[in-house]
């Protein structure tokens, strides 16, 4: 099966998930509308002051994080391949009177609809697993940055994605070196609402090794300022995880610590 077919199947699921996620307790859209940020403390601290800067948010879903950066003074553009997500993002922007531009596009096709350079390109939380090619992804990011521009990502650590969520014990269930082959899923539920019943149960995603991510950025001429790893993550991916007061999830019954989330800050040379 070609990547376009995988994207087509994934799009059906993500369009269905927009309403489910928007109505979930996890997203807390009501709180967001009242002024609460959807951003976590780590990206707020690590990305820093965005006031007056242009920011491109790739795979923005329905735009809560994008609009949260706009509230902090960034001039934001959000991109997502889900038409229902982009429509809701535009509705939120208008309703809350937060200036933002939202564009409907697959990440790999963005050059057809966007011709602009940015100070910051931002990607977060459950994003790159939906993309098959890290080298192409990193080069696209570089192409959209001004010289000296900043790229920031925070996402699931590939080690954490190896854990079999269907096993009570801590057990590896997936290949770390997947050789570009997607993982097939057929299941109900969303990370924001695990009990949700879906018509579009099928999806495909990709597990990228840390070396694949880092080397893609190096190949695209980025200077990496830091790579940080964390023993917790942003959503519940195993029955033995508990939610912390700061909103992150962590294992509570392990005798050892493992990486569950990572962040990278990198600058475009020049």
Q: Which of 233, 211, 209 is nearest to 224 (CA)?
A: 211
Inter-residue long-range contacts of 160-163, CB under 8 Å, 24+ positions, other chains counted = 160/233, 160/237, 160/258, 160/259, 160/260, 160/261, 161/129, 161/207, 161/237, 162/207, 163/237, 163/238
CA distance 61 to 107: 12
**pLDDT at position 34:** 98
Domain formed by 3-268, architecture:
3-Layer(aba) Sandwich (3.40)
Question: pLDDT averaged over consecutive 10-residue blocks of the chain (270 residues)?
Answer: 94 97 95 98 98 99 99 99 99 99 98 98 97 98 98 97 81 87 92 89 97 98 98 88 92 85 95
Give strand pairing partners of 205: 183
Give the start-to-end residue ranges of the domains of the chain.
Answer: 3-268
CA distance 181 to 84: 28
CA distance 182 to 166: 19
User: Tokens in use for 170?
Assistant: 């801590």
**pLDDT at position 1:** 75
| Residues making up the chain, counted from first to last | 270
Cβ atoms within 10 Å, residue 134:
22
Q: Is 241 helix (H, G, I), strand (E, B) or coil?
A: strand
**pLDDT at position 191:** 87
27-55 in b/e burial notation, b at 16+ Cβ within 10 A?
Answer: bebeebeeeebbbbebbeeebeebeebbb
CA distance 98 to 31: 15
**pLDDT at position 165:** 80
């Amino acid at each position: 099966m070609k990547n376009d077919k995988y994207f087509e199947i994934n799009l059906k699921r993500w369009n269905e998930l927009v309403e489910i996620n928007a109505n979930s307790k996890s997203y807390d859209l009501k709180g967001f509308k009242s002024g609460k940020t959807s951003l976590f403390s780590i990206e707020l601290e690590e990305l820093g002051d965005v006031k007056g800067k242009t920011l491109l948010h790739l795979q923005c879903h329905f735009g809560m994080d994008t609009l949260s950066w706009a509230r902090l003074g960034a001039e934001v553009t959000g991109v997502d391949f889900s038409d229902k997500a982009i429509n809701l993002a535009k509705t939120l922007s208008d309703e809350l009177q937060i200036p933002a531009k939202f564009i409907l596009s697959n990440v790999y096709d963005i050059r057809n609809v966007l011709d602009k350079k940015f100070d910051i390109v931002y990607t977060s939380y459950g994003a790159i697993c939906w993309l098959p090619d890290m080298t192409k992804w990193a080069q696209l990011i570089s192409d959209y940055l001004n010289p000296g521009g900043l790229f920031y990502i925070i996402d699931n650590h590939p080690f954490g994605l190896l854990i079999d969520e269907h096993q009570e014990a801590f057990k590896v269930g997936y290949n770390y070196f997947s050789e570009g082959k997607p993982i097939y899923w057929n299941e109900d539920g969303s990370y924001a609402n695990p009990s949700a019943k879906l018509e579009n149960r099928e999806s495909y995603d990709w597990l990228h090794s840390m070396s694949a991510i880092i080397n893609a950025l190096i190949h695209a001429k980025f200077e990496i300022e830091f790579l940080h790893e964390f023993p917790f993550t942003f959503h519940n991916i195993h029955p033995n995880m508990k939610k912390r007061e700061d909103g992150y999830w962590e294992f509570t019954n392990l005798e050892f610590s493992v990486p569950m989330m990572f962040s990278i800050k990198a600058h475009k040379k020049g």
